[in-house]
Amino acid sequence: MTAEIYLARHGETNYNLEGRIQGHIDQESELTQRGIEQSEALGIMLRDLGMPFDWIYSSNLRRARQTTQIISRHLGNITIEYTPDLRERGMGSLEGRRISDLGVGWEEDRRVYPLDQGEEFLPNDSEPFKSIDERARRMVQEFLNPKDSRILVVSHGWFNRYMINLLLEEERLLHSQGNGVIHYVRLDGSAKVEECKLNAIQLE
C-alpha cells in the first residue's frame, strides 16, 4: 500500500499582495484575479497530466476552498473533504498585520514564522508547534487508506513546510513554495517517505 500525495499551496490572495500575515483569517483573505488564474491553470495542468485522483483534501479556510473548487472543476467527480486540520498556523494577534509594520522584511520572515530560531518573537496566542504537528500527523494517517491512493491536498505555505519537515523527519527547515505550486511525496504503508520532490509541479 502506498499513498501519493500532491501537496499544493493555494493561489495568490489579497493578503499575499499586501504582505499581511494570514494565519487563520478566513473571509477577509480571498484569491486575487491572479490567484484565480493560477488555480485554473493548475487544474488544467493536472488534468492534462492524466493523473486521476482518488480524493481531494483541503483546508477549510476560504482561500484554500476557492483554490480547491476551481481546480476540481477540471478533474471530474472527486470527493472533496474540507478540514480544519489543514489550516495555516494560527498566528493570534499578529493575524492581519503587515510584515512591514513589525519591523522585519520578507528576507527575515523566519522571525515571524520562526522555524529554527526559537519562538521568542511570537505572541502568546499563536498556535504552538505541538498543535501543528498533531494536525499534520492526523492528516498523514488519513492519507494512508487501505488501498493505494493518489491524493491532492490544498493547504498553506507554512503548514505545508511543517508537513514536509514531519514526513522527512528533519529539523524545521524552510522549504519555499510559491502560490499554486505542488510538492510530491510518496509514502509506504508505515508513512515512510519513498520519494519526495519539492516544487515538483510549477506553473510557467
Residue 55 lies in domain: 2-201
Q: Give dist(CA 108, CA 116) in Å, integer.
A: 12
Q: List, by residue number, the catalytic residues.
A: 10, 88
pLDDT higher than threshold 90 for residue 123: no
pLDDT tens digits along 39-57: 999 999 999 999 899 999 9
pLDDT higher than threshold 80 for residue 137: yes
pTM for this entry: 0.93
pLDDT tens digits along 152-202: 999 999 999 999 999 999 988 888 899 999 999 999 989 999 999 999 999
pLDDT higher than threshold 60 for residue 82: yes
pLDDT higher than threshold 70 for residue 121: no
Q: Which among 128, 127, 165 has a CA at the least distance from the CA of 22?
A: 127
Structural domains counted in the chain: 1
CATH number, residue 186 = 3.40.50.1240
The helix-helix angle for 62-72 and 33-48 (nearest 10°) equals 40
Task: State the chain's mean pLDDT as an integer.
Answer: 90
Q: Give dist(CA 7, CA 5) in Å, integer.
A: 6
Mean of the pLDDT values across residues 19-47? 96
Cα 152 to Cα 57, 82, 135, 174, 188, distances in angstroms = 6, 12, 17, 22, 17
